[in-house]
Amino acid sequence: MNIHKSPTTLSRVDPLKHVFRRIFSALPDGARGTVVAIIGEFLGTLCFIFFAFAGGEVAAASSNKKQNEGVSTGTASKNPALLLYVSLSAGFSLLIFVSLGMALIGAITWVRCAVLTVTQFVATIAASYMVEALFNGGLHVSTELGGDISVAQGVLIEMILTAQLIFTIFMLAAEKHAATFLAPIGIGLSLFIAELVGEDPKP
């Protein structure tokens, strides 16, 4: 039985809906999917990085004993609780936005978006500026060798952690099977354990 639903007042007057319809109708049929993928990739990466970095800023600020106005959110010392908070922020942020990406643009498109591209690079820069602008004390996110780790050891650790994340993405999301809908959980947990292993708890 077909049920005809008349358009609501909001759908009739929604200006964004009309703008997007005009934009997408002007695009060739083959380009529409690519445009949707690029937009989804940008927004997904922007939100993922924003919440991951913001979690790090909150963890650092709460660990800084100086809480006066204008004090940097950075902290001179690291502890396992702070690193766990940062790892959870990154892992759960990826879990949520991979879930949204798969729901909005499909699992296959999202896996294609998981490869580093110019769009993701721009989104990462934009997210970094957003976090820096919204949190006092500047952005305290960096990648450096900790403890007595040599450059060679650091490269190998990074290779292993990245390989397990990419392997998880391909096995859970790229390969279609009954548990594909659980892929975001596995991908988020994969980044979580990579963050746990890759962080250095020493000051």
Residue-wise pLDDT for 155-178, tens only, equals 899 899 999 988 988 888 777 777
Please report whether residue 17 resides in a domain. Answer: no
In a domain, 115, yes or no: yes
Domain that holds residue 36: 32-198
**146 part of a folded domain:** yes
Global pTM reads 0.72
Instruction: Output the average pLDDT for the chain.
Output: 76
191 near 165, Cβ under 8 Å? yes
CATH number at residue 172: 1.20.1080.10
State the number of CA atoms in the 13 A half-sphere of 100 facing the CB: 16
Chain centroid to Cα 134, Å, comes to: 18
Q: Could you tell me if residue 13 is inside a domain?
A: no
The reply to whether 22 falls in a domain is no
Please check the confidence at residue 8 and state whether its pLDDT lies above 60: no
Q: Assess if residue 75 is contained within a domain.
A: yes
In a domain, 165, yes or no: yes
Domain count, the chain: 1
Cα separation, 197 vs 167, in Å, equals 17
The reply to whether 8 falls in a domain is no
